[in-house]
Structure 1
Amino acid sequence: MADSGKTSREAAPAAKVDLKKSLDSYQAKRGEFRTLDVPDMQYLMIDGHGDPNVSPEYVAALAALYPVAYKMKFSSKRELARDYVVPPLEGLWWAADMESFTVGRDKSQWDWTMMLMVPEWLDRAAFQNAVALVDEKDAPERLADVRFETLSEGTCVQTLHVGSYDDEAPVLAEMHDDVIPARGFVMRGIHHEIYFSDPRKVAPERMRTLLRQPVEPASFA
């Protein structure tokens, strides 16, 4: 038998972690509204305003966010021997007049924070190192706007929407007007979306988006 060059004592490479599959807070089903306690999670974040479909600001935001996320991933794999799939893009969305978001869908009035979750074993030093590496060559225009923060949401109601982003309104109306009050809650915090599908590769009617709303007991409001 030929010598493979490996001994029986060599450790197999660690499996790549896919956090969207292993974390309960990323689980949702179409037509089902879950109430759950979402743990504090750390993110790369960047802010902006306006319609993401036509806004150069939105394009520039993602162009700054992803290089930092991938530098952190590669550093984790190389230095800590912990590899992972970069989690899906997420967004916090709001407007001065929330009806322009939930009913009118006037995207020109929307404010947003786009986010990529960072595994709990990476810290601010890892973030700062990643930013420095990205800055060494062809730094994105908005690199200085990327920040590393913890998001605390607590009790939330969430569901899975299957379809185009423009078809979310009825699902949001059911969540906000029926489900949340029926469970004795009121809304607080900011509407949160998690994008499981790449719109460049998936037809609009098949896109999967987790819709989340932080809540609190109505008696506390």
Structure 2
Amino acid sequence: MTNNPATDKVDFKREIAAYRARQGRFEVVDVPDLRYLMIDGHGDPNTDPDFAHATEALYPLAYKLKFASKRDLGRDYTVMPLEGLWWADDMDAFTASRDKSRWDWTLMIMVPDWIERDLFAAVVEQVAAKDAPRRLHDVRLDTMSEGRCVQTLHIGSYDAEAEVLARMHHEFVPDNGFRMAGRHHEIYLGDARKVAPEKLRTILRQPVAPRTS
């Protein structure tokens, strides 16, 4: 990750290879340790108000941190896209039944590694001082290590992911000597509020490890 002060705005989607993927291809990538704003929840993202409350907490923090970084540190960057970790007790809830009421999730927005906890805490207080989002204080700053992953670009609605995920989980991963080793990860390159479902672009990522038998 670039970590040199500069007057130009840094776009980490361009700088970090793991934020690029191709449709119709499963690719093995090594994801560096990355820092995120993170918030947890459970349930159907389409119907559970907790999901909306989570996004309403993340975005003000993400933008306030960007402005604080530029103002206080002289380092500007593009706010990164929303991401999500998704899991369930039975992962067939993703590829078979698609029973979203059984899903657990962590929503995330990546931030540069120069964002320290004291700056994060100060920005949380700034956001809290004016019309604080309901779940503001549930957001944490944390670093995630994913390492070796398989990923692809999905173009289309979120509900059309099941076939792609089934091929990733049950064909590509075992056929290439891997086993699944972490939570399903999605990176939302389009805004579902503004883009037609058939044109949404989402990176689908699965951490893996070598199969031992």
TM-score interval w.r.t. the shorter chain?
A: over 0.9
Partner residue, 1:50? 43
| Paired residue type of 1:55 | D
Match of 1:27 among 17, 20, 33: 20
What is the rounded CA distance, in whole Å, between the counterparts of 2:10 and 2:22 in structure 1? 22
Paired position in structure 1 for 2:104: 111
1:140 aligns with 2:102: no
TM-score relative to the length of structure 1: 0.91
Instruction: Pick the structure with greater CA Rg.
Output: 1
- Cα deviation for residue 98 of structure 1 reads 1.4
Query: 1: distance between equivalents of 2:199 and 2:130?
Result: 37
Equivalent of 1:62 in 45, 55, 61: 55
Q: Distance in 2 between matches of 1:140 and 1:202?
A: 25
| Pairing 1:37–2:9 present | no
Per-residue deviation, 1:157: 0.4
Runs of 4+ off more than 2 Å: none
Paired with 1:140 and 1:217, the residues of 2 have a C-alpha distance of 42
Distance (whole Å) between structure 2 residues aligned to residue 97 and residue 174 of structure 1:
17
1:170 aligns with 2:163: yes
* In structure 1, distance between residues paired with 2:182 and 2:130: 37
How far apart, CA to CA, are the structure 2 residues paired with 1:48 and 1:190?
14
C-alpha separation between the residues in 2 aligned to 1:101 and 1:182? 20
Cα shift readout 1:67-120 (whole Å, capped 9, x = no counterpart): 111111000111122111110000000111211122111111111000000111
Q: Which residue of 2 aligns with 1:214?
A: 207
**Hey, what's the Cα distance between the residues in 1 that align with 2:9 and 2:158?**
30
Equivalences for 1:119-130 in 2 at 5 Å?
A: 119-130=112-123
What is the aligned residue count? 208
* CA distance in 2 between partners of 1:112 and 1:84 (Å): 26
TM-score, normalization: structure 2? Answer: 0.95
**Which sits farther off after the overlay, 15-24 or 67-76?**
15-24
1:125 Cα offset (Å): 1.4
Q: In the TM superposition, what whole-angstrom CA distance separates every residue of 1:13-65 from its partner, at most 9, and x where no partner exists?
A: 82221111221110100011111111110100001111111111001111111
1:186 aligns with 2:179: yes
1:3 matched residue in structure 2: none
Q: Distance in 1 between matches of 2:142 and 2:115?
A: 12
Residue aligning to 1:7: none
* C-alpha distance in structure 2 between counterparts of 1:171 and 1:183, whole Å: 16
Unaligned runs of 5+ in 2: 1-5
